[in-house]
Structure 1
């Protein structure tokens, strides 16, 4: 347990040498999980520590559908879905779908395959965030995946926790292109979050005054 905790801390703080040493002493640590059930591989992915992801992969015998989707191993995703097609919309330990991961980590080919295999483009995460795939795509500023989701009937006005729509996020990020794409697809520029804020107010809070023309 102590070694697992040390490994988790080393991954979070991006201490590659420590992770290498711990795994060299106990290779099974690469397969360990947090108390929440989240794998160390997904933890490293969340922290965007690619070297950690690569290191853990070298010491893992196998990875599951959620992990494969999060790191963009499209070929493996295809194989895993072929073995168990009904897992395409399964929730991970922290409540996300394979498509949600592919969108959040900006893996277009993986997202495209998952949709082709029947993934629900409007299925929100099974946790307090209630994040739909399009929220994740917009959050990571992926024009390509956002367009992919819209072309497959994603709801552009879907609300996540606190009532935020994809347009709120795009405005908050100052992403002109995504704001334009979402508006063209029918996004409501007057939508209000639970606290009453509109996409325009989100943009102005971040001083993206140039978005005012699109959002008034």
Structure 2
């Protein structure tokens, strides 16, 4: 989870650590967001850490937090200006990951903060495709409530709609 006092002490001694990248192109904010350390994320943001820093796969702290189910971190990053529609080099967004992983509260937070409900990855899959293929019924229902925006019959690059994927996976 990251030892707050240890990291704070080191950052106070060397502020450059806030933006120093590891071998994966990640900075401290990526790891603190992934681990769910709210206090450390807040501190790193106060020290000027880039809220939308990307690693070697174009993954941001918000994408990591959303994927890991870190609701409080997701809210904190968004309140500090994180781009809710940023995508990785595979086209995956924080909404797609949270739909796939079953994090319904995070899905709602992202939608409430203008996440693109129809965003597609490199395979043409939308958040609805991801939720349906995983059998995440609660999330499918959340997405369906956005019927004015949702492109429910949009096929992926292979011609599959979310309904096709749900049936194929016996969901």
Task: Show the 5 A alignment for 1:55-204.
Answer: 64-85=28-49, 87-125=50-88, 127=89, 129-185=90-146, 186-204=149-167
**TM-score normalised by structure 2 residue count:** 0.82
1:120 aligned counterpart, secondary structure: coil
Native 8 Å contact 2:100 2:136 kept in 1: no
What is the number of equivalent residue pairs in this alignment? 148
1:90 aligned counterpart, secondary structure: coil
The Cα shift of 1:184 comes to 1.1
The Cα shift of 1:187 comes to 2.1
Gaps of 5+ in 2: 1-21
Native 8 Å contact 2:29 2:41 kept in 1: yes
The Cα shift of 1:77 comes to 0.6
Aligned mates of 2:150, 2:135 — CA distance in 1: 16
Could you say which structure has the larger radius of gyration?
Answer: 1
Aligned mates of 1:184, 1:161 — CA distance in 2: 25
**TM-score normalised by structure 1 residue count:** 0.65
Aligned mates of 2:143, 2:75 — CA distance in 1: 19
Native 8 Å contact 1:37 1:94 kept in 2: no
1:68 aligned counterpart, secondary structure: helix
Q: CA RMSD in A?
A: 1.7
Aligned mates of 1:118, 1:102 — CA distance in 2: 15
The Cα shift of 1:174 comes to 1.1
Q: Which has the higher contact order (CA 8 A, sep 6+)?
A: 2
